[in-house]
Structure 1
Amino acid sequence: MSSIFEVSPRCKELQKKLIDFVENDCLPAEEVYESQVGTGDQRWKTVPPIMEELKAKAKSLGLWNLFLHKSYPEGPGLTNLEYATLCEITGRCPRVAPEALNCSAPDTGNMEVFAKYGTAEQKQKWLVPLMNGEIRSAFAMTEIAVSSSDATNIETSIQRVGDHYIINGHKWWISGAGDPRCKVYLVMGKSDPNNESKYRQQSIVIVPADTPGVQVVRPMHVFGYDDAPEGHCEVKFVNVKVPVANIIHGEGRGFEVIQGRLGPGRIHHCMRAIGMAERTLDVMIARVTDPSRRTFGRILARHGTVAADVAKIRIDINAARLMVLAAADKIDKIDAKGALRDIAMAKVMVPNMLQRTIDLAIQAFGAAGVSQDFPLARFYAGARTLRIADGPDEVHIQQLARYELMRGDDIREKHKAVLARRDQIYAKGSKL
């Protein structure tokens, strides 16, 4: 962990507990978890028993719901910076550790939506059981028929009829929708498609998963992984009827809600990615320093290209960590909107760093690197997906470029002032 960003003594104690929990409980449970998921249709009906055991232990250790910022009374009192350092630890075991702590997506983002924007009734009905780990949730935004990287393209209809909304839309890549514990969706759609502001056309409504018309069509596969039992599903909403009381934060506030939801969430993803990169480097080092594995008379680490790759990975991980912690720190000191540039930089840099790191490790492993015997193949699928999820690289790069180019007028004026001062100096015979 970086020492230039100070965290509280309590956070440091949580770091110690969490490191022990991840290394001694979660990592050894990875294969057990996968074996308990089941096969065929059972993959979408079975919750691995080992997960409930890990959750019980995490609760007993005080490692529960760590994600919610200290500004929320329901949270544990940590800053975004402090939680970011904990995210890195859970990232070493991304399939098991975050859920064991009730800190896995999409639930964390949805819980924050309920905590920040929900009414007292909405919090009691949905936030409480989510924070207790009794149910799970899904966030339905991405659509099959439009380019959803521009969320203004969303076409799902949210039409008010009397005291209800009628929802019609076709979504996909809806994480968590396959889980038998998924009891609620937050659905983004257009409630006012003719509003002159394209950012005021959208709303978010609460849809209980058992509402008639909610149809989970199929799980999507990511490089062959279905991520059961949570999954990333294609979902249709056909004449789904919910009360108007199910609106989140009022009509036309959808963009405001997703910006409040995604900012901290992107930092969480990035720090978990750094934890994945650290574990990747660890397994790579273990492989290339193994005395029994030799090529051309030398262990792999003695080959210059392999050693150079290890060094480059270390540089990249450390640089990425500092960037993400700086973004988390700015969110704490200003807010997510004020940290947009920092978040955008981290969201581009970190997944790319992770993808390069895993790719180099796979190369060092050879054929074993793409097999099921090591975590690298699944890590790679996650890393590549992260460059699309929560906004593709291109969106964040475009946003960052826009912020930088806005400084053009000021920079040109400063340059003119420098030239004018140079001319004055020449006119005075080089006397300042």
Structure 2
Amino acid sequence: MLILSLASILTLALLLGSGVWIAFALIGTAWVALEFFTPFAPGPILASDFWGASYGWDLTALPMFIWMGEILFRSGLADNMFRGLSPWLNRLPGRLLHTNIIGSGMFAAVCGSSAATCATVGKMTLPELERRGYDPQMAIGTLASASTLGLLIPPSIVLIVYGVVTEQSITRLFMAGVGPGLMILGLFMTYLIVWALLKGNRQGLTGQDESSMPLAQKLRQTWALIPILALIGGIIFSIYGGLASPTEAAAVGVVLSMLIARMNGHFGMAVFQESLFAAIRTACMIAFIIAGASFLTSAMGFTQVPMQLARAIGEMGLSPTLLLVMLTLLLLVMGCFLDGISLILLITAIIMPVISAAGFDLIWFGIYLVIVVEMSQITPPVGFNLFVIQGLTGKDILTITRATLPFFLLMLLAIALMHLFPGIALYLPEAMNR
């Protein structure tokens, strides 16, 4: 087992380091494992796995949600969110910095992409916050961190991928993501309020107190949020209420997102084509990685490595808490070099027998895994959100990383709270089965 494990790790590292596509790196690693360490021919297994991974009703939701996010990315939604939220946040400690957190949470609920959430909200909020005299470090930290919730708050592309490869209910995963997503938003906002009270307001880092606005004007500006709130509510309640499957809700979401973009005056044939082609490119990339990961999963099964690894860890007698700590450290290191979807697919291909043997609920583990992946989005050298912020602000990666550090630690706290109180993630899925 040791020789095979070292050979697989070395092969994967060499392929990833050479710059080949991640899907090809997964395929190459699986091929080497089958060719040199088993009597099975890799070709037929590769063909069977690619065919099996290329269809499935649950997987159909993936390109639809991606397309919906691409349309909304080009719809002027961020401008509406800033104008609709800012009148209500001016009296809260931290003032308009909360627009990064709440706005990212709202956009995450209809986008499903961390990078798209970061870019869309940041294009609107960062220039406005800078113009109004807010602390640039806190503006960067709140945006880069809160936008990672695009991976967790449903509909989440990453949760769909996890549900497909682990054969878990996508609806239950979506429900499980609501509680932890709201908890992380709450932790971020609480930290911002405490920071503003202790430091920000005193040092003039939270902008100037703007004049109050009449209630009628506040309501007029908030009216711009109604379409997007209706879209979020429609998708969530149609899925949780059993009225539609995630795929059906995604299809309806695409149509409604076109209507919202049209209402904002940002939808035409050019936007339709751009969003469609962008969604196709992203969906094909993810599908190719899923197929490669499926092949690697089969290869690992034939080599018996996951089972032997699970047996070895079981013999070590690690408690679930210690196992979770070790796994978190491993995932954070791997997350420095792999994107979120690749990390989830690689991990699920190798360690799921270990997780099942340790007694973790696979729905709960999926949410835990996504939170760790969120953390990898703000850790160098491959933190996608860091690069998005760098493109928006021109600041160096180390400066941006320092700005996100407090929120990184808050995500670790969220994992600890989830471990102590599993109901944060499991209450809604379990309530659905009652």
Higher helix share: 2
Larger radius of gyration: 1
Query: TM-score scaled to structure 2, two decimals?
Result: 0.28
Query: TM-score scaled to structure 1, two decimals?
Result: 0.28
Higher strand share: 1
